[in-house]
Amino acid sequence: MEFKINNEFLSQLEELIKQNNAQEVKNLLHEVHYADMAEILEELDLQEAIYVFNSLDSEITAEILLELDDDLRINILKNLSAKEIAEEIDELDTDDATDIIAELPQHKKEQVISELEDVEHAKDIVELLRFDEDTAGGLMGKELVKVNMNWTVLTCVKEMRQQAENVTRVHSIYVVDDEDRLKGRLSLKDLLTSSTKTPISEVYIKKVTSVKVDTPNTEVARIMQKYDLEAIPVVDEMGRLVGRITIDDILDVIKEEADKDYQMAAGISQDVEADDSIFDLTKARLPWLVLALLGGFISVKVLGFFDGAMHNHKELFFFTPLIAAMAGNVGVQSSAIIVQGLANNSLSGTVWERLLKEVSLSLLNGLILGLILFIGSHFLLNVDIKTGITVTTALLSVIIIASLVGTFIPMILHKNNIDPALATGPFITTSNDIFGILIYFSIAKLILGF
Amino acid sequence: MEFKINNEFLSQLEELIKQNNAQEVKNLLHEVHYADMAEILEELDLQEAIYVFNSLDSEITAEILLELDDDLRINILKNLSAKEIAEEIDELDTDDATDIIAELPQHKKEQVISELEDVEHAKDIVELLRFDEDTAGGLMGKELVKVNMNWTVLTCVKEMRQQAENVTRVHSIYVVDDEDRLKGRLSLKDLLTSSTKTPISEVYIKKVTSVKVDTPNTEVARIMQKYDLEAIPVVDEMGRLVGRITIDDILDVIKEEADKDYQMAAGISQDVEADDSIFDLTKARLPWLVLALLGGFISVKVLGFFDGAMHNHKELFFFTPLIAAMAGNVGVQSSAIIVQGLANNSLSGTVWERLLKEVSLSLLNGLILGLILFIGSHFLLNVDIKTGITVTTALLSVIIIASLVGTFIPMILHKNNIDPALATGPFITTSNDIFGILIYFSIAKLILGF
């Protein structure tokens, strides 16, 4: 069912481009879905991609634009005139149109808007451009079907047919009062199953979940997931229906959030992909590495401070990477669980309960791991009992402290409205490395007395 | 718009339960959405939750069941008779019903199925139970609206009204031939805007994306996302329409996949939440920690092997955690980018291109970090130039090798049909720790000659 790009197809296409045969390019791509076309364009070089783009109807190219990677989209748009872009925009729903216009440089933005044919569409886009892109207002589109609660079903159906012309997918029919305030909804099923004579006020469902224009997008995502909604109406400060958000946009929000948290945990500070440029990848990766390196400087200093142990207890230094690694791993586990709990809004109980739980958990894990280390250090690594006791005690302490740091730093960040995902990855491993080494040698000094 | 659980509400509810006042419990919860009720039940103890559950109508409790955490659902189901469970199941769509029945122990499963009132429903569920839960067949439900391509629109609308009675949300109207083979679809918009006299064969859309019953669920998710679908029809080996998958189930698949990859990267081997028991959390966390500990044993051995350096170059040992940490961090970054690229199916180019890119990237990062280390080691950490050159050279080599390991291990796993996410987190940090230390001291031995 799905189209698979193959080299044969690509060389055929490239040949047609070389022959400057726009009609045949169009024919070749006739049956191809726009999402697949976007993938094809990614495989071509920019000039070829622009040629293909110009060979196709704006109805299709508008959809392709939405599917392209940001870089290629920006490059293609640079090569189109304001009038050409306006033709694409005219084909798009207001929310998608706004996303594309928002990416344009200021002067081109205004030119494109002035070239739009449909004035109502242009007005909607200008309105949507006002909203912060990370809020419900920034996600919503204006295309929706709404009916007045004072109408009869007959008027309603007539009006709806007209409105539906502008709406690609009818998710819900919203019911408003004379002031346009959201009052409820009509389900499509009701529409299919109830007779046209019924008055609206009798059939509409009074309960409707909505969000405000300034609700954050992650909150919209949470609400739509929780209540299993495929579309949600957006109201303004006066409760007036101003737009709707559909599930496909929420899917993008969820994916972006998950990708961002994942990349944060891996020490990548910007949204990048494997195919981005070396420069972009370096920009995303280097900051955390520099931080980790500076953390490393501190660990060098800390170890230097304990160099008195070199003479009689050199084997202590062989265990530093082990202790540091365990501290890092335990810390990342704890912080990941908290970050996910915060993201899913599923953390319950008081701070003290969480503290008690984390200590019990790390005590249990630490005792098991400590036992393995104690036995292993004696039989596999041949260190004396006293050193074995030292490293085991240190491991246990380090595990407990690392898991507390991993648990509470994200919680504190979250409480101060900072993204808790910041406290995962290199941040937690680096700080736990330093703490771990410090605790380890302090305990060693206490037990072995150097 | 959203219901917020507060302590006052909870104590009011608990008081009513204590008074054994089922009617008032029902009244109190009358206006509450089932997703919120699930959250309320999570706050109560099991006996209270079961009391509330029994006070409500099965129409509502069936929906609540779906929203509950696995543990509580299993506990509640244990306390219900087969007949009571069958009443819940009768209220649910076939896909949800199947998910719940699949969780029951074998003997209870059969009892519940034999107690189902609607025989057609029971047949559908028995059919769905055959499919692997990680395939399209395991995700699909039987509720859909389908029309025969040979009908007129008039017959069609009549038939649809009847079918729509059993379908909560009408996503798409599927068009089949006399053999039930999927031929196309009718959009709801067409339904709203075209006259009832038009023949089906003239209005239906011949292009329809479908999946097979054995398509993996992650592949279904990718296709639905790519083509922006809110529902997708499922066909059997003969191309017959056997079910449909809706976007809400795909949302769960996407979230689960993202959570799983995230947890893997953090060294958590099972799907757990912060509120799970200490035993479950230990089961999920301990295996990776044991692996990391055993890796630590190896690093102790490796360091012991180089203990000749202790006499004249003790400061080398101060740098081991720094080198090991940098190796771990670089490796995790590389593997995370590859794992995401594989998940999104967005990796392009040959293996050699990727190798070249990764080497260039790590060379660039390594040179910048090496410069910082060289300057820092001299001015901040006061080591001599020769040691400075040693640690800098080691850092550069370690960064290049760690990024290659991080890039290619997930790719190799993927090629062998093993989940590449396995190669993130503790696995990559531990192996890079060991490699890093080995490379570091080998280079030091070469330069400083101990």
Residue-wise pLDDT tens for chain A (450 aa)? 566 778 888 899 999 999 999 899 999 898 888 899 998 998 898 999 999 998 998 889 999 999 998 888 999 999 999 999 999 999 899 999 999 999 999 999 999 999 999 899 999 999 999 999 899 999 999 988 888 988 888 888 788 777 767 666 667 889 999 999 999 998 766 766 677 788 888 888 888 899 999 999 999 999 998 888 889 999 999 999 999 999 888 998 988 888 888 888 888 887 888 888 888 899 999 999 999 999 999 999 999 999 888 888 888 999 999 999 999 999 999 999 898 888 877 777 788 888 888 899 999 999 999 999 999 998 888 889 999 999 999 999 999 999 999 999 999 999 998 888 888 888 888 999 999 999 999 999 999 887
Nearest CB to A282; choose among B169, B230, B364? B364
| Within a domain: B41 | yes
Q: Which residues of A touch B209 (CB under 8 A)?
A: 1-2, 33
Residue A432 CB neighbour total at 10 angstroms: 29
pLDDT surpasses 90 at B436: yes
| Within a domain: A317 | yes
Q: Output the CA–CA distances (angstroms, integers) from residue B228 to A184, A246, B11, B64, B246, in the order listed.
A: 27, 11, 45, 29, 12
pLDDT at B4: 73
Nearest CB to A296; choose among B282, B325, B333? B325
Cross-chain Cβ contact B273/A340 below 8 Å: yes
- As a whole number, the mean pLDDT across chain A is 89
Summarize pLDDT for B200-220 with one digit per residue, the tens. Answer: 888 888 888 999 999 999 999
Same domain, A92 and A172: no
Same domain, A122 and A155: no
Same domain, A336 and A416: yes
Cross-chain Cβ contact B328/A326 below 8 Å: no
Q: Output the CA–CA distances (angstroms, integers) from residue B301 to A158, A326, B297, B438, in the order listed.
A: 81, 17, 6, 10
Cβ-contact A10, A43 below 8 angstroms: yes
Cβ-contact B140, B158 below 8 angstroms: no
Summarize pLDDT for B277-286 with one digit per residue, the tens. Answer: 888 899 999 9
Cβ-contact B145, B133 below 8 angstroms: no
Cα torsion at B32, B35, B39, B45 (round to 10°)? 80
Exposure string for B386-410, b = 16+ CB within 10 A, e = fewer: ebbbbbbbbbbbbbbbbbbbbbbbb
Question: What string of H, E and C letters represents the secondary structure of chain B?
Answer: CCCCCCHHHHHHHHHHHHCCCHHHHHHHCCCCCHHHHHHHHHHCCHHHHHHHHHHCCHHHHHHHHHHCCHHHHHHHHHCCCHHHHHHHHHHCCHHHHHHHHHHCCHHHHHHHHHHCCCHHHHHHHHHHHCCCCCEHHHHCECCCEEEECCCEHHHHHHHHHHHHCCCCCCCCEEEECCCCEEEEEECHHHHHHCCCCCEHHHHCECCCCCEECCCEHHHHHHHHHHCCCCEEEEECCCCEEEEEEEHHHHHHHHHHHHHHHHHHHCCCCCCCCCCCCHHHHHHHHHHHHHHHHHHHHHHHHHHHHCHHHHCCCCHHHHHHHHHHHHHHHHHHHHHHHHHHHHHCCCCCCCHHHHHHHHHHHHHHHHHHHHHHHHHHHHHCCCCCHHHHHHHHHHHHHHHHHHHHHHHHHHHHHHHCCCCHHHHCCHHHHHHHHHHHHHHHHHHHHHHHCC
> Which residue range forms the structural domain that includes residue A367?
278-448
Q: Output the CA–CA distances (angstroms, integers) from residue B68 to B42, B62, B72, B100, B109, in the order listed.
A: 8, 10, 6, 11, 19
Q: Which residues of B touch A329 (CB under 8 A)?
A: 267, 288-289, 292, 425-426, 429
Cβ-contact A240, A181 below 8 angstroms: yes
| Within a domain: A250 | yes
Cross-chain Cβ contact B273/A344 below 8 Å: yes
The number of folded domains in chain A is: 3
Nearest CB to A300; choose among B266, B329, B381? B381
> Which one of B132, B153, B188 terminates a domain?
B132
Same domain, A237 and A381: no
- Sheet of A211-212: strand order equals A211-212, A231-235, A241-246
Nearest CB to A170; choose among B192, B285, B318? B192
Calpha distance B38→B49 (Å, rounded): 9
A-B CB pairs within 8 A amount to 336
The pairing of strands A182-186 and A173-176 is antiparallel
Question: What chain A residue is nearest to B69 in terms of C-alpha separation?
Answer: A346
Nearest to B175 by CA among B140, B210, B141: B210
Cβ-contact A167, A145 below 8 angstroms: yes
Same domain, A303 and A394: yes
The CATH number that applies at residue B346 is 1.10.357.20
pLDDT surpasses 90 at B140: yes
Partners of B246 in the β-ladder: B231
Q: How far is A297 from chain B (nearest CA, A)?
A: 7
| Within a domain: B422 | yes
Nearest CB to B268; choose among A325, A336, A347? A336
- Categorize the per-residue pLDDT at B14 as very low, low, confident or very high, splitting at 50, 70 and 90: very high
Partners of B243 in the β-ladder: B234
Nearest to A403 by CA among A330, A298, A350, A296: A330
| Within a domain: A442 | yes
| Within a domain: A263 | no
pLDDT at B191: 67
The pairing of strands A173-176 and A145-148 is parallel
What's the rounded mean pLDDT across residues B143-162? 83
pLDDT at A7: 83
Q: A261 Cβ partners below 8 Å, 6+ apart?
A: A339, A340, A343, A421, A424, B262
Same domain, A299 and A323: yes
Cβ-contact B232, B245 below 8 angstroms: yes
Q: How far is A92 from chain B (nearest CA, A)?
A: 15
Cross-chain Cβ contact B347/A317 below 8 Å: no
Cross-chain Cβ contact B322/A337 below 8 Å: no
Nearest CB to A161; choose among B193, B263, B273? B193
pLDDT at A189: 67
- Categorize the per-residue pLDDT at B162 as very low, low, confident or very high, splitting at 50, 70 and 90: confident
Same domain, A154 and A128: no
Same domain, A12 and A127: yes
Nearest to A138 by CA among A217, A67, A221: A217
The residue with greater pLDDT, B97 or B270, is: B97
Give CB contacts under 8 A, 24+ apart, made by A373-377.
A373/B293, A376/B293, A376/B297
Q: Which residues of A touch B406 (CB under 8 A)?
A: none
Nearest CB to B2; choose among A223, A347, A348? A223
pLDDT surpasses 60 at B126: yes
Chain A contact probe: residue of B320, B358, B368 with most A CBs at under 10 A:
B320
Chain A contact probe: residue of B181, B194, B300, B427 with most A CBs at under 10 A:
B300
| Within a domain: B254 | no
> Which one of B132, B160, B193 terminates a domain?
B132
Same domain, A156 and A231: yes
Cross-chain Cβ contact B381/A297 below 8 Å: yes
What's the rounded mean pLDDT across residues B396-406? 94
Q: Say if the ipTM goes beyond 0.95.
A: no
Cross-chain Cβ contact A329/B192 below 8 Å: no
Radius of gyration of chain A (CA): 30
Same domain, A293 and A229: no
Same domain, A176 and A232: yes
The CATH number that applies at residue A19 is 1.25.60.10
What's the rounded mean pLDDT across residues B244-251? 91
Q: How far is A1 from chain B (nearest CA, A)?
A: 6
> Which one of B132, B158, B188 terminates a domain?
B132
Cβ-contact A176, A280 below 8 angstroms: no
Same domain, B287 and B227: no
Cβ-contact A292, A426 below 8 angstroms: yes
Summarize pLDDT for A178-236 with one digit per residue, the tens. Answer: 999 999 998 766 766 677 788 888 888 888 899 999 999 999 999 998 888 889 999 99
Cross-chain Cβ contact B265/A267 below 8 Å: no
**Percentage above 70 pLDDT, chain B:** 97
The CATH number that applies at residue B240 is 3.10.580.10
| Within a domain: A2 | no
The residue with greater pLDDT, B30 or B299, is: B299
